Amino acid sequence: MTKYCIVNGDDFGFSAGINRGILEAHHRGILTSTSLMVDKPAAQDAAHLAQDAPRLSVGLHIVLTHENCGPRVDFDDSEVCRNEIARQWDRFIELMGTAPTHLDAHHNIYRDTRLTLLFMECVAVKNVPLREHSRVHYFPEFYGQWDGETHLEQISIENLCGMLRTKIGAGCTEIGCHPGYIDPDFESSYAIERETELQTLCSPVVQKMINELGIQLISYKELDSILCTAEEEECRLSYVWCG
């Protein structure tokens, strides 16, 4: 089976520098997709920039937590959380003029057991993929920080090439990433790592490795047609094998 890869940049709209880095990673590098934070200061700018990047798929990055990971709403109040997810969905459409191509969340908060069913309920109605709950395998290891310490070696060109070689299998995989430029007033614990990610994603060495491995870069816009084609191919091979 073919190896398909979606490279998704989280935090679109967070700041002007993040927007600039995501668009650079798309135009000069391997980034194919992004996720918009609709309430951040540069969300309007992000929506405007996306109009000039027709091949970039834009999903919704639901924000229910502060940057210190503390909750912005009461996670034990399912109705409040449901309404907040719906409000951010509607705000996305106001900004973009279209529905999101996919859904994920800041700090992957959909993993919280009090919220998981609410997210799944949303995507069931809206008919879009939810990260870690679709046929797209989510690969989170391209991330340069853990235990409060920076690990730039984890997001180096060499390490990403190694991941592509050993961790990306048949079918469709989403590589999560956070490229960007850091503005003076940017507030996030994940900061210096973003420019290293950007350099890695734009490296010709990485692009060459993708080509050598036969990995096809796609976006969430193409996902349905890719999956349909893959299913048809599986059926054809099954018929040939059984026949």
Q: What is the pLDDT of residue 241?
A: 52
| Residues composing the chain | 243
CA nearest to 88, candidates 116, 119, 120, 117: 119
Question: Nearest 5 degrees, angle CA 191-CA 193-CA 197?
Answer: 130
What's residue 235's pLDDT? Answer: 41
Give the span between the Cα atoms of 153 and 204, in whole angstroms.
18
pLDDT for residue 230: 57
Provide the Cα torsion 54, 57, 62, 66; round to 10°: -70
pLDDT in tens, 179-233: 999 999 898 999 999 999 999 999 999 999 999 999 999 999 999 988 876 555 5
Q: What is the pLDDT of residue 18?
A: 98
- Asked if residue 40 lies in contact with residue 180, where contact means CB atoms within 8 angstroms, the answer is no
d(CA 135, CA 141) in angstroms, rounded, equals 18
φ, ψ dihedrals at 164, nearest 5°: -60, -35
Domains belonging to the chain, first-starting first, are: 3-242 (3.20.20.370)
Question: Which token pair is 13?
Answer: 């709209």
The per-residue pLDDT for 45 is: 98
Segment 47-88, tens digit of pLDDT = 999 999 999 999 999 999 999 889 999 999 999 999 999 999
pLDDT single digits (tens) 135-150? 999 999 999 999 999 9
Residue 13 reports pLDDT greater than 50: yes
* Mean pLDDT rounded to a whole number for the chain: 94
Mean pLDDT confidence for 139-165 = 97
User: Which has the higher per-residue pLDDT, 44 or 243?
Assistant: 44
How large is the average pLDDT for residues 35-57? 97
**Distance between CA atoms of residues 103 and 95, nearest Å:** 16
Provide mean pLDDT across the span 2-10: 97
- Residue 239: pLDDT band with limits 50, 70, 90: very low
Tokens of 124: 């069931």
C-alpha to C-alpha distance for 91 and 86, rounded to whole angstroms: 9
pTM reported for the whole predicted model:
0.92
Pairing of strands 33-36, 137-139: unpaired
